[in-house]
């Protein structure tokens, strides 16, 4: 029997690009995204994740949209809101979400944690792994280092998004990354 792995999951497209690479584990997907300020956006991503998890028979645990979590996240990230994507702002956000994932794994008795975040070409896998390894030490758990984009994960996520008709957002999730995405789109069209 394979061992359980708690997989921090940001959305269905990313999970679909990672899941097949974890076939030696019993994957439990964990959706915790207090960085998403818009409840409709949060819930749209969650519904797509649930739909995919049902198709693949993946266990899923999710945290509902919660204003208190959003406020805690905003208080932490707010001073760095203008730094842009791939900055210290994102590092703190990864830390915040992964810490909750490790806490949840510990409570559930799951000894290994991983993250879908490294499947994105916009995310620094080395940084994510460094945070994951530090948290693994802190919580006396294992962290599965990954760079899922290098194993064709991102291309698979795009392919699966088309195949299954997934809602696929064009920004990471927070209001700051959304505004930056809108500005990039506006600048390209001018």
DSSP state of 83: G
Taking only Cα atoms into account, the Rg of the chain, rounded to an integer number of angstroms, comes to 16
Q: How many domains, in total, are found in the chain?
A: 1
Pairwise CA distance, residues 190 & 177, whole Å: 20
pLDDT digits (tens, 9 = 90+) for 5-63: 999 999 999 999 999 999 999 999 999 999 998 999 999 999 999 999 999 999 999 99
pLDDT at 169: 83
Q: What is the pLDDT of residues 58-83, one digit of tens each?
A: 999 999 999 999 999 999 999 999 99
Mean pLDDT of 104-118: 97
pLDDT digits (tens, 9 = 90+) for 141-176: 999 999 999 889 999 999 999 999 998 888 788 888
Percent of the chain surpassing pLDDT 90: 83
pLDDT band at 190 (very low <50, low <70, confident <90, very high): confident
CATH number, residue 54? 3.40.50.620
Burial pattern 99-130, b for ≥16 Cβ within 10 A else e, equals bbbbebbbeeebbbbbbbbbbbeebbbebbbe
For the chain, give the mean pLDDT: 94
Output the six-digit token pair for 133: 């390894």
| Distance between CA atoms of residues 72 and 75, nearest Å | 5
Angle, alpha carbons 46-15-91 (nearest 5°): 85
CA dihedral 19→136→140→107, nearest 10 degrees, is: -50
Q: Write down the pLDDT at residue 172.
A: 83
**What mean pLDDT do residues 102-107 have?**
98
Range of the domain at 49: 3-189
Give the per-residue pLDDT at 1.
55
Q: What is the pTM of this model?
A: 0.94
**189 vs 153: which has the higher pLDDT:** 153
pLDDT at 175: 87
Q: Return the pLDDT at 31.
A: 98
């Amino acid at each position: 029997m394979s061992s359980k792995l708690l997989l921090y999951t940001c959305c269905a497209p990313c999970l679909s690009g990672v899941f097949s690479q974890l076939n030696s584990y019993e994957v439990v997907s964990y959706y915790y995204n207090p960085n998403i300020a818009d409840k409709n956006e949060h819930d749209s991503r969650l519904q797509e994740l649930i739909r995919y998890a049902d198709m693949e028979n993946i266990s899923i645990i999710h945290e509902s949209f919660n204003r208190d979590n959003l406020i805690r996240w905003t208080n932490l990230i707010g001073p760095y809101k203008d730094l842009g994507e791939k900055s210290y702002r994102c590092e703190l956000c990864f830390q915040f979400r992964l810490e909750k994932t490790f806490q949840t794994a510990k409570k559930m008795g799951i000894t290994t944690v991983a993250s879908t975040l490294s499947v994105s070409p916009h995310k620094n896998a080395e940084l994510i792994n460094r945070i994951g390894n530090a948290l693994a030490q802190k919580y006396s758990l294992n962290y599965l280092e990954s760079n899922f984009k290098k194993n064709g994960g991102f291309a698979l996520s795009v392919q699966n998004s088309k195949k299954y008709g997934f809602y696929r957002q064009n920004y990471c999730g927070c209001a700051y990354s959304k505004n930056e995405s809108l500005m990039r789109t506006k600048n390209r069209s001018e």
